[in-house]
Chains A and B, each alone.
Chain A
Amino acid sequence: AQSVTQLGSHVSVSEGALVLLRCNYSSSVPPYLFWYVQYPNQGLQLLLKYTSAATLVKGINGFEAEFKKSETSFHLTKPSAHMSDAAEYFCAVSATNTGFQKLVFGTGTRLLVSP
């Protein structure tokens, strides 16, 4: 079984500051890992994904995440926050040994960006 824990339901940063959103996963098999972003009243947009290739994954809008097996983590970072980054972010995991890739989501982290 897979699960994801996102630490911090809310994270506040100033514009231009580093963004760090934490995600730890649990999986009995090698996982696929994802970060999705959700803007108000919209669906989920894929930011980036880890599929067992490079451990440092670059995504859209300047975000990146690093897969650390020893720490079972997949934290999302961005060097400099923009006001437009304010949204809810979801980490998700799926198993690589199932016939389909059901996503198991974390509870989400709302990113607040102040001027």
Chain B
Amino acid sequence: GAGVSQSPSNKVTEKGKDVELRCDPISGHTALYWYRQSLGQGLEFLIYFQGNSAPDKSGLPSDRFSAERTGGSVSTLTIQRTQQEDSAVYLCASSYPGQQETQYFGPGTRLLVL
């Protein structure tokens, strides 16, 4: 079946602009995660959704970052007033109920803030 998909694959934006990154998890996967991969910080957890429950936002680096998940499926990560340090690869992952320890990753969105 189809894997986790993310769009866009690449995004270039100007400092101060808002961006939206999209993630489509694997069908039937109830858990969804966002991670960020940057040169300075490595791979960092950002946020976690489980079904329609309130998300765990403990990894979000600032209040400029937010995410939502509609209908327990597609998720959008929004970064407001982007800064150059937001440049990174944003990875989405999903996992199956009862096997949440195994996360399947999408190809990522490469964000460059000029």
Contact = CB atoms under 8 A, between A and B. Distances in A.
Interface of A: 32, 36, 41-46, 49, 51, 90, 92, 94, 100-108
B47 to A, nearest CB: 10
Interface residues of B, number: 24
Contact of A104 (B45, B91, B108): B45
Nearest to A42: B107
A43 B107 contact: yes
B107 A100 contact: no
Contacts of A41: 107
29 contacts: A32-B101, A43-B4, A43-B105, A43-B106, A44-B91, A44-B93, A44-B105, A45-B105, A46-B102, A46-B104, A49-B101, A49-B102, A90-B43, A100-B31, A100-B48, A100-B50, A101-B100, A101-B101, A101-B103, A102-B48, A102-B56, A102-B59, A103-B33, A103-B35, A103-B43, A105-B43, A105-B44, A106-B42, A108-B42
A106 B41 CA distance: 10
A43 B108 contact: yes
B87 interface: no
Please classify the interface of chain B as helix (H, G, I), strand (E, B), loop, or mixed, using the class held by over half of its residues.
strand
A104 B35 CA distance: 10
B37 to A, nearest CB: 9
A42 to B, nearest CB: 6
Contacts of A94: 101
B95 interface: yes
Contacts of A106: 42
Contacts of A102: 33, 45, 48, 56, 59
A51 B103 CA distance: 13
B108 A100 contact: no
A90 B45 CA distance: 14
B109 to A, nearest CB: 10
A107 B42 contact: yes
Name which of B45, B50, B101, B104 has the most chain A CB atoms within 10 A of its CB.
B101
Interface string B73-114: 000000000000000000101010000111111111000000
Nearest to B92: A43
